[in-house]
């Protein structure tokens, strides 16, 4: 069935099964807007950015920290790294990593999009290590350009919602969120950017405008307030009138599965 035919199906016939990773990609894609410029890492962030381009945001520009601006990613040929040649196909520009980060510093990037191993109530991300800094139990990939991006752009984070990931205090701040809450981010010399949304397989999270503490913006269908709190390591406010997201559509899932036919990132 073509994408046009899938889009014409009535809602009752259009319901489809999906994985948690597909849910993350679809919900993240819906947060991106036409005309924005987004720093996207590989995996779910890149899938979400391409999905947004092919549904509601054809004017979305993707940047890779390796220096690629405006690439076309061929369906079924997803790059394993942002420094791989598949990232550069039909790109608008190829510049150095310092030049692409200079665009970020000058305010030309709207959204940074990444994942992380741990996140705390103020949106600080850890992708460096788990445990004590002098003797970590687990070593993680580290920052790459994550710190620069989180310091200067509005951030969207996509990750599984587990208590071991949503912790009271991250073991290390790789990418700054709102630090200790309130105005502590600006007071530390970071007047721009900050955490915008955290997308999980249980809901969509935002941050209080004053305290900068994490709160629930929307729950996914079938998820309760008690369930999302039970999977969070700190108090997570849920408004009484909290919204419920619309599940992924067959069109969105078809595009994702064309992009990732081997289910490398969406299984």
Q: How far apart are CA 127 and CA 171, in angstroms?
A: 10
Tokens 């595009």 found at: 255
Tell me the catalytic residues. Answer: 65
Q: Is 248 exposed, middle or buried (0-12, 13-18, 19+ CB in 10 A)?
A: buried
Count CB atoms within 10 A of the CB of residue 211. 14
Count CB atoms within 10 A of the CB of residue 45. 27
DSSP 68: E
Kind and range of the H or E run holding 64:
strand 61-64
Kind and range of the H or E run holding 223:
none
Radius of gyration of the chain (CA): 18
């Amino acid at each position: 069935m073509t994408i046009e035919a899938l889009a014409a199906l009535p809602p009752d016939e259009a319901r489809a099964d999906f994985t948690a990773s597909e849910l993350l990609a679809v919900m993240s894609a819906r947060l991106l807007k036409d005309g924005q410029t987004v720093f996207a890492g590989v995996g779910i962030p890149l899938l979400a950015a391409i999905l947004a381009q092919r549904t509601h945001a054809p004017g979305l520009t993707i940047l890779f920290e390796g220096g690629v601006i405006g690439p076309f990613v061929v369906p079924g040929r997803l790059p394993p790294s942002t420094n791989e040649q598949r990232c550069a196909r039909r790109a608008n520009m190829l510049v150095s990593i310092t030049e692409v980060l200079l665009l970020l510093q000058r305010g030309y990037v709207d959204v940074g999009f990444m994942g992380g191993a741990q996140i705390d109530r103020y949106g600080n991300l850890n992708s460096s290590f788990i445990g004590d800094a002098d003797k970590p139990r687990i070593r993680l990939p580290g920052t790459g350009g994550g710190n620069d991006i989180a310091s200067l752009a509005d951030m969207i984070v996509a990750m599984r919602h587990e208590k071991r990931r949503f912790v009271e205090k991250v073991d290390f701040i790789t990418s700054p969120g709102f630090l200790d809450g309130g105005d502590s981010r600006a007071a530390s010399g970071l007047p721009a950017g900050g955490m915008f949304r955290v997308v999980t397989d249980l809901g969509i999270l935002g941050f209080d405008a004053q305290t900068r503490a994490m709160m629930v913006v929307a729950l996914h269908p079938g998820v309760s307030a008690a369930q999302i709190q039970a999977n969070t390591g700190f108090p997570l406010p849920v408004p009484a009138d909290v919204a419920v997201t619309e599940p992924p559509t067959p069109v969105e899932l078809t595009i994702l599965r064309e992009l990732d036919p081997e289910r490398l990132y969406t299984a």
